[in-house]
Structure 1
Amino acid sequence: WLSALTAPFAADPRTGCVTGLILPARLTTPAQVLLESHGGFAKGFAPRLYDPAAPPADQPLFPFTAGSFGSGANMAFRVSALRAVGGFDPATGTGTPARGGDDLYAFVRILTAGHRLRYTPDALVWHHHRETWQDLRNQAYGYGAGLTAYLTAVLCRHPALLPALLARLPRGLAHARAITAHRETSAAGVPGAHGTYEHPWPRTLSRLERRGMLYGPVGYARARWGIR
């Protein structure tokens, strides 16, 4: 795992961040199955390079679709690159009122500073998904909050990125509606292709995600105030 995660840094000096494949350690409860069917943490089984000098044609919201780059459960940074962009924002993360977004913030800052981000599925870890329905409810709300909290953090700390974000706002809102939409239970009712968002997602969880998105900027403000 560690060799696969660090090899891209040696191969390309422009690489500032590497993320890896995250698969479920178990799918034994309905909550675990639902999370994985909603996309889970995996970002596919093919390597991918994200280069700000050559934005991917299939991601019109790049680089603000940070959730597609990887997850904090399996990531590494070039120390000099992370320090140069100011490191993580301590007002984001699961232990703060913002409820998440620290990894997404770091991904976007690395890319907007001109560094490359590489996704390598050879660096594999197994993730223990939360087991209970209440855990999943908390996670859905946290996902929504972390998403808008990290965007708020980017704009507060780097206002020069505002024009780029505003230009992507209409498509971004449509994308947010799509990824949080309620989906009826399918015949199979099992996890499928990651990122397709075609599998079941209960209306209650959809609402919680969207409520979290509304709360995210407030949570980030609370976290910043607490730090000060």
Structure 2
Amino acid sequence: MRKKIIKDKVSIITPMYNAEKFIGKTIDSVLAQTYENWELLIMNDMSKDNSCEVVKRHSKMDARIRLINASKNVGVVKGRNKLIDIADGEFIAFLDADDYWHEDKLEKQIKFMKEKDAAISCTDYTRVTENEKSINEIKVKSEITYTDLLKNNYMGCLTVMYDVSKVGKRYFKEREKNEDYVLWLEIIKEVKKVYGLQENLAFYRVLDNSRSSNKFAAAKVRWDIYRKEEGLSVLKSAYYFVIYAIIALLKTK
């Protein structure tokens, strides 16, 4: 039986593993939202620290926060997909357990999506250190096409929101890295464009041990996506890869 989707509600998808140090800030940024019609679904992937205790303290005070415990270690992709299954919001948004939002993120983004009649959107965001020191700001284009996205992944997962009533529930492919990028490419081919809200509404925490910290591995993954996931020719793959590499180098300066 299909779960009934609740109009205007936002289901926030948060996988969590050993996030005791950051999860409180993440939850607080959701609680502070000026838009109140949301649920925060947190998948505890068998954390060994006190992450669950932090979540439970918050959930006792606000029933919109739900902690779901995995019976075995499932990883980020399966964790997100399980939460998407559970979600009953018209809108699906993503917020990892070490990231956080501006207080008006949901309100502004939903208003923006309704004005644009958008199936999917993203926003500008700031990359910060573990101690919340600003590194740089990631800007998005007002309209992002499939070709744009092949050149540069503008879409920070913590800023993406899609409308279930327009595209259905969309799930991540089981991949070691860049599963979000593959999903955005899949959706954009269907809806033709992603709308970018050019306002900074989120903070992405760059961790030393993050899955995206190894630049060489990230480059290999990007090439595999061009060739295997998107089926691009060697020539087209090389073209987009050079652009991707140049943009990546500029980001480090």
Q: TM-score, normalized by length of structure 2?
A: 0.46
- Partner secondary structure for residue 138 of structure 2: coil
Mapped contact 1:26–1:128 kept (Cα < 8 A):
yes
- Partner secondary structure for residue 89 of structure 1: coil
Partner of 1:103: 180
1:140 aligns with 2:214: yes
Partner of 1:64: 150
Summarize deviations over 1:162-217 as a string: whole Å, max 9, x none.
Answer: 36x55622312322443455xxxxxxxxxxxxxx3461xxxxxxxxxxxxxxxxxx
Distance 1:81 1:63, change over 3 A: farther
Partner of 1:89: 172
Partner of 1:48: 142
Distance 1:4 1:173, change over 3 A: same
How far apart, in 2, do the equivalents of 1:71 and 1:129 lie?
12
Q: Which residue type is aligned with residue 49 of structure 1?
A: E
**Following TM superposition, by how much is the alpha carbon of 1:47 offset from its aligned partner in structure 2, in angstroms?**
5.6
Q: Which structure features the higher share of strand residues?
A: 2
Mapped contact 1:49–1:119 kept (Cα < 8 A):
yes
**Following TM superposition, by how much is the alpha carbon of 1:19 offset from its aligned partner in structure 2, in angstroms?**
0.8
Distance 1:197 1:88, change over 3 A: same
**Following TM superposition, by how much is the alpha carbon of 1:113 offset from its aligned partner in structure 2, in angstroms?**
1.1
Q: Which residue type is aligned with residue 109 of structure 2?
A: L
Partner of 2:196: 119
How far apart, in 1, do the equivalents of 2:166 and 2:234 lie?
26
How far apart, in 2, do the equivalents of 1:47 and 1:63 lie?
10
RMSD after superposition: 3.5
Distance 1:169 1:51, change over 3 A: closer
Alignment of 1:172-191 (within 5 A): 172-179=240-247
1:129 aligns with 2:195: no
Aligned positions, number: 148
Partner of 1:6: 110
Mapped contact 1:88–1:102 kept (Cα < 8 A):
no
Distance 1:153 1:75, change over 3 A: farther
Distance 1:139 1:81, change over 3 A: farther
Q: Which residue type is aligned with residue 242 of structure 2?
A: A
How far apart, in 2, do the equivalents of 1:117 and 1:110 lie?
9
The runs of 5 or more residues in structure 1 that have no matched partner are: 53-60, 93-97, 156-161, 182-195, 200-228
Partner of 1:16: 119
Summarize deviations over 1:37-87 as a string: whole Å, max 9, x none.
Answer: xxx5x432x7611246xxxxxxxx5342351x221122101114443xx72
**Following TM superposition, by how much is the alpha carbon of 1:89 offset from its aligned partner in structure 2, in angstroms?**
3.1
**Following TM superposition, by how much is the alpha carbon of 1:137 offset from its aligned partner in structure 2, in angstroms?**
8.7
Partner of 2:11: none
The runs of 5 or more residues in structure 2 that have no matched partner are: 1-104
Q: Which structure features the higher share of helix residues?
A: 1
How far apart, in 1, do the equivalents of 2:167 and 2:220 lie?
24
How far apart, in 2, do the equivalents of 1:127 and 1:112 lie?
26
How far apart, in 1, do the equivalents of 2:244 and 2:145 lie?
23
**Following TM superposition, by how much is the alpha carbon of 1:117 offset from its aligned partner in structure 2, in angstroms?**
0.5
Q: Which residue type is aligned with residue 140 of structure 1?
A: N
Partner of 1:154: 229
Percent identical pairs in the alignment equals: 5
1:77 aligns with 2:127: no
Mapped contact 1:19–1:74 kept (Cα < 8 A):
yes
Q: Which structure's relative contact order is higher, taking Cα pairs within 8 Å and 6+ residues apart?
A: 1
